[in-house]
Structure 1
Amino acid sequence: MSLVVGIDVGTQSVKLIAYDAVSRQVVATHGQALELIAGDDGSREQKAEWWIDAIRTCFAKLDSTLRARVVAIGVSGQQHGFVPVDAKGKVLAPAKLWCDTSTQRECDEIMAAAGGAQHCVAFAGNPILAGYTASKLPWTRKHRPDVYRQLASIMLPHDYVNFWLTGERWMEYGDASGTGWLDVRTRRWSSQMLAATDPDRDLAACLPPLVEANASFRIAPAIADELGLPRNVCVSTGGGDNMMAAIGTGNVVSGVLSVSLGTSGTLFAYADHPVVDNDAGWAAFCSSTGGWLPLICTMNCTVATETVARAFGFSTRDGDTVMANTAPGAAGLVMLPFFNGERTPDLPFARGSLHGMDLGNFTRGNAYRAAMEGATYALRNGYDAWLKAGLQCNAIRLTGGGSHSAAWRQMVADIFELPVEVPMQAEGAAFGAALQALWAYRCANQEDADLAAIAHDHVLIDPSLSARPNTQAVAAYRHHYRQFLSHLENTQSFYANHKTERVV
């Protein structure tokens, strides 16, 4: 009658699910909203204590009889964040997040010090893009020198939560590959990229030891008592939210394309070897399963639909109804949804734009559809790079808040020209963290522990939410997608002249 718990520390909220692996049922789900500190310079930060308080709240909501049954916990965290911690384990400043674009100058400086973007790819498999952890270090050195002097440990968001739970410091390869410092080919820190970040300091000494994906650690007794958990609970390595969503959508073998429609949009697919692009068309990450996870991230997904809904005074819950009488192409409206700047393509200073407005088509339904289409086209543009490289997928596993929309599920099927499946557990990252915890628990107890088998047995598909490409819509979207790419090309040319200053 044991339970495993998955915790997802996201940008907007912390989510907790308790899963019974015997009955294959999520027995409880709880969440707690988070604040965001947003600056005009593109900074996006949160206080690490907010995550801990939210986790405490979620466990307090979990019935005490369920807490007593917990045997393992897995933690998913937003990637690329930087939590500066001193030698005593104290957090020194707010955590800079994945969506923070205030460090673009530092990205350019690191890549220049390394010899250019292609040298970065040669050294570690990835360039240093806006939001990656590496750029946050020189930014901190410049803007928070006292913090930088006291810095003893560089932690990612999920690393810090693990540290709070166990008192132990570690990092796993999946989330580590999002720092910009890990050579994904060798799974070792790149001395060249660390030196390019700070030639005067040994940053490797600040990085926690790397551990294997199926490792686990015992919860600290004081934290177990505080949360009302047994003292023998094990905490798995956890990982970045995309890595955990891969597990939670069953993407632990080749052939499946996971698409997450959240605040950011992501595409990822499992690989059993490093998948590095010399032109950096995608992120060459490791997985949190012992493999690799080539990944494409756009920084604006549900951000676009939520922004339009707010501007027109309705809720995204009613979005499908609002756009019910619209058609593919939004009557000529095309949105480039770069409200937060953009990572793929690399346009950190870009802003959202709406094209093709006339007296007849500028309605709330068309504007909302254009936002949804723009976010999906941006993801398809990333996927095109994979197609050119010869990577093929035969089905999409859809997750994230956008997957709740029937219209968006069908749109993804039509634009990608692939069948769409939706796992029954909508919270892919939290569920993936729970399944990784189950895997680690079985490994620790010398039980049969094959992750692919675990995913096969526990990631169930909801047939009522599946979508198949519609022939007429596919043909229409091919035309409208070309229009999107044309506007994108013009935008890339415009912002190419604004690499070092923000456009307002």
Structure 2
Amino acid sequence: MFLGIDLGTSELKAMLVDGDNKPIASSAVKQTISRPYPLWSEQSPEGWWQATCEALDQLRSSAPEAFAAVRTIGISGQMHGAVLLDARRRVLRPAILWNDTRSFAECVELEALVPESRQITGNLAMPGFTAPKLLWLQKHEPVVFRSISIVLLPKDYLVFRLTGELVSDMSDAAGTLWLDVARRDWSDRMLAATGLTRQQMPALIEGRDVAGQLKDDLTRQWRFKGPVLVAGGAGDNAASAVGVGVVSPGSALVSLGSSGVIFVSNDHFSPNPAQAVHAFCHALPDRWCQMSVTLAATTSLSWATRLTGHTSEAAFAKLAEDAAIDAAPIFLPYLNGERTPHNNAQAKGMFFGLSSNTDAAAIAYSIMEGVAFSLADGYAALGAAGTHIRQATFVGGGARSHFWGSLVASACGFSLLRPVGGDLGGAFGAARLARMATTGEAAEAVCTALPTADMIAPSASLAERLKPRYERYKRLYQVTSEDVFKM
């Protein structure tokens, strides 16, 4: 048995997977986010650990024999968060999360300090990344900054609590702006720019490598039959890609979750920082990936569901199928700023074209269309880096809607494959990495594609109807970004 844990922003999930790559049991524990000030987003690392213990207790209760047979644990997690430990390995403050945008000014400062930063890291400096957060702390919380002994990413904090080891994998480390992504090693130049050294960074391993062994007291507490290893794991998107078999060069994934992601696996480092394409290491050796990121995908739908007084997101989304497309407002889904292609933490969400006839169906449609357009923007940025997609695996909560998938496929121009079990997510990929850490099997043998439930092909007629609306969508950002977004 192999155990996968996925530390999400809103939920921690755990999953048992057997030796035949089949899920046996799963559990989930909700997480809360603290937003004490505008632009801030934080969570308690201790809360993550308590959620981990609760999720594993649930699994042990529901499948005791399978749980006791676990040989290796793999962990996936939200990227970019800053977990700060002092010399006694105590947490110094709440973790600053990926969707915290307070450090937008420090991004400009960091690129000025290291003019070659984009060549080293393959990425623009964005407030979501870890390094600018530390520059902000250096200025605004100097006592905390001076006490930092080690900086960990969220999932790596769980690895530390499980094993006592200070380790990170390449896919997660690539999202810090401290990694030389092509060389898969920490960059002393980038670290020095933020007042840090290698001694304050965890050791680097590949996601399928062994990070350490589960502590003896935890082995006894959870009643495992024998010693349990812990794998390096992966950042959430890389783990999801491993879980659905997106590991060979050119294979692609579209994730329509809280954020929207287009993920493409490569056998070489292929950056396009000018258009905010993320170029990271994949979770497997000698493989890299490109990503475009929309910050508020299903988050936008959740927000609109609450705003309109609906209790079910699925029922609210269903209304969109009967909307009059041409009369619906244009929606910019920048509720939390935006990454690809704008890299604008100050971008704001917007409806344009509201009238007294605008109803809930039109709002639902506009939300879903706006997210599809944002993904189309991201795909255009990937195309500028020479990446072209014929078909992509389609996962995430939004992938349950065939209608939303049709909007995405028609706006982007490639087919979407909805897999059976596509909601397994990062926990399943983490379990696959755990398996490889134990058995040494090749990625191609373990990271196979899931069976396809159905294919959503682009619709020529829908694409034609969307084309003028997409052009209007792009112009709206252009004409408002300089003035309105700074209000």
Give 1:313's aligned amino acid. Answer: G
Deviant stretches of 4+, over 4 Å: none
CA distance in 2, matches of 1:39, 1:349: 18
RMSD: 1.7
Shift of 1:114: 1.6
**In the alignment, which of 401, 408, 411 is matched to residue 412 of structure 1?**
408
In structure 1, the residue matched to 2:367 is 371
Unaligned runs of 5+ in 2: none
Residue by residue over 1:220-273, the C-alpha shift from the partner in whole angstroms, topping out at 9 and shown as x without a partner, is: 111222233344111110111011111112110123221111111111111001
In structure 1, the residue matched to 2:105 is 105
Shift of 1:66: 2.1
Shift of 1:356: 1.1
How do 1:183-222 and structure 2 match up within 5 A?
183-198=180-195, 202-216=196-210, 217-222=212-217
How do 1:412-491 and structure 2 match up within 5 A?
412-425=408-421, 426-443=423-440, 449-456=441-448, 459-463=449-453, 465-491=454-480
Residue by residue over 1:460-493, the C-alpha shift from the partner in whole angstroms, topping out at 9 and shown as x without a partner, is: 1342x43122221122122221121111222333
Question: Does 1:20 find its partner at 2:14?
Answer: no
Q: Is the 8 A contact 1:172 1:211 kept in 2?
A: yes
Q: Is the 8 A contact 2:150 2:202 kept in 1?
A: yes
How do 1:41-80 and structure 2 match up within 5 A?
41-62=38-59, 63-80=63-80
Q: Is the 8 A contact 1:44 1:100 kept in 2?
A: yes
CA distance in 1, matches of 2:426, 2:197: 29
In structure 2, the residue matched to 1:6 is 4
Question: Does 1:402 find its partner at 2:388?
Answer: no
Residue by residue over 1:81-100, the C-alpha shift from the partner in whole angstroms, topping out at 9 and shown as x without a partner, is: 00001222211110000000
Q: Is the 8 A contact 1:285 1:293 kept in 2?
A: yes
CA distance in 1, matches of 2:65, 2:435: 19
Give 1:81's aligned amino acid. Answer: G
Residue by residue over 1:111-157, the C-alpha shift from the partner in whole angstroms, topping out at 9 and shown as x without a partner, is: 22123xxx211232222101100011122223333322221111000
In structure 1, the residue matched to 2:278 is 283
CA distance in 2, matches of 1:332, 1:68: 54
CA distance in 1, matches of 2:153, 2:481: 31
In structure 2, the residue matched to 1:446 is none
Q: Is the 8 A contact 1:333 1:354 kept in 2?
A: yes
Give 1:51's aligned amino acid. Answer: W
Q: Is the 8 A contact 1:219 1:231 kept in 2?
A: no
Give 1:218's aligned amino acid. Answer: Q
3-state SS of 2:276 partner:
coil
Q: Is the 8 A contact 2:124 2:276 kept in 1?
A: no
In structure 1, the residue matched to 2:96 is 96
Q: Is the 8 A contact 1:111 1:196 kept in 2?
A: no
TM-score by length of 2: 0.94
Q: Is the 8 A contact 2:276 2:343 kept in 1?
A: no
CA distance in 1, matches of 2:354, 2:467: 20
3-state SS of 2:292 partner:
strand
Q: Is the 8 A contact 1:263 1:300 kept in 2?
A: yes
Aligned length in residues: 479
Percent sequence identity over aligned pairs:
31
CA distance in 1, matches of 2:203, 2:159: 13
Residue by residue over 1:339-385, the C-alpha shift from the partner in whole angstroms, topping out at 9 and shown as x without a partner, is: 1112222110121110011222x111111111111112111101101
CA distance in 1, matches of 2:275, 2:406: 30
Shift of 1:428: 2.0
How do 1:380-395 and structure 2 match up within 5 A?
380-395=376-391
